[in-house]
């Protein structure tokens, strides 16, 4: 249940401000309607979709299709959520799927096991594709420059 409380769902509120800007945070700061939360989460998933298209330079066509499908399903779940807990669950499930897809693929066969041990052999996600993060010297310089900036957390 939503209540007028800055601390309620604060990690999501802070993410909205960090990624979507101050106005997104202010819409849900103390008390935001379900509609405001839905709008922020919709913008968040759309931003992730745009970022993937703009950033992922090399990927097989099926990865792009799967990514779009997961995002589309997430956006539909957001629109269908009738309560804040359903909305958070919809976004959590979508972001979890996207995270696994970014690492190679979503492990869909684990439902057959009673318990899947959290050990590397069960979680190596490269049977479909290999993910490789590379960094140019210009990107390394940018990373160093960004590290020197004071963090938002040090301002508080």
pLDDT in tens, 98-108: 999 999 988 88
- pLDDT (average), residues 83-96: 97
Task: Give the residue among 49, 79, 78 at the shortest CA–CA distance from 65.
Answer: 49
What pLDDT score was predicted for residue 156?
Answer: 44
Q: How confident is the model at residue 154 (pLDDT cuts 50, 70, 90)?
A: low
What pLDDT score was predicted for residue 133?
Answer: 87
Give the pTM. Answer: 0.86
Element housing 148 (H / E): helix 137-148
Retrieve residue 16's tokens: 């909205």
pLDDT at 153 over 60: no
What pLDDT score was predicted for residue 152?
Answer: 62
Task: Give the residue among 94, 98, 88 at the shortest CA–CA distance from 10.
Answer: 88
């Amino acid at each position: 249940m939503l209540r007028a409380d800055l601390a309620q769902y604060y990690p999501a509120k802070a993410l909205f401000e960090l990624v979507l800007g101050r106005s997104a945070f202010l819409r849900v700061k103390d008390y935001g309607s379900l509609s405001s939360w839905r709008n922020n989460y919709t913008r968040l998933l759309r931003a992730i979709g745009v970022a993937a298209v703009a950033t992922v330079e090399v990927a097989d066509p099926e990865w792009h299709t799967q990514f779009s499908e997961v995002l589309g399903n997430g956006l539909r779940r957001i629109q269908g959520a009738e309560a804040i807990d359903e909305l958070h669950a919809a976004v959590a499930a979508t972001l979890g799927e996207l995270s696994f897809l970014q690492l190679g693929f979503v492990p869909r066969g684990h439902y057959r096991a009673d318990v899947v041990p959290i050990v590397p052999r069960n979680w190596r996600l490269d049977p479909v594709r290999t993910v490789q993060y590379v960094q140019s010297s210009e990107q390394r310089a940018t990373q160093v420059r960004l590290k020197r900036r004071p963090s938002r957390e040090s301002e508080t």
